[in-house]
Amino acid sequence: MSVVNKADAGHVRFVSYTGKWPNLCRGILTLEIDGVEHRFGYDSGQHGKFWSSGGECGFSGNYTGSYVHAGEWKIDAQLLPEELKCYVAEIDEIFNSNVEYGCCGGCL
């Protein structure tokens, strides 16, 4: 029995993501879609950023403490190039399966 890696299923394959703490959300995502490599994110030189953190951060106790909670990435299909919008479900699954959940609070 062969095992199928989620990153290699369907039309979308995960290649890499450069984001890391404390700015995990600011990385460049590289995906292979139908055999063509696509780069997304600020300074990717190709496509813009279409994801945001599902986590949250803030201050508690009259600003005497802080909290950071990681959460699943949120994908905004409207920010994808028109020709790639049909792959939004696969992109969502691949991104969330391969990129550490964000917290939008690394700067706290």
pLDDT (mean) for 79-84: 96
- Which tokens belong to 105? 């609070």
Give yes or no for a contact between 74 and 62, defined as CB atoms under 8 angstroms apart.
no
- Residue 92: enclosing H or E segment and its boundaries? helix 88-98
C-alpha span between 7 and 14 (Å, rounded): 5
Query: What is the percentage of the chain residues whose pLDDT exceeds 70?
Result: 87
pLDDT at 86 over 50: yes
Total residue count of the chain as it appears in this document: 108
Give the residue from 55, 53, 29 showing the smallest Cα distance to 41: 29
pLDDT surpasses 90 at 96: yes
Contact predicate 20/12, CB 8 Å? no
pTM of the predicted protein model: 0.81
Query: Six-digit token pair at 45?
Result: 């030189």
Alpha-carbon gap, residue 60 to 77, rounded angstroms: 33
Greater pLDDT, 103 or 33: 33
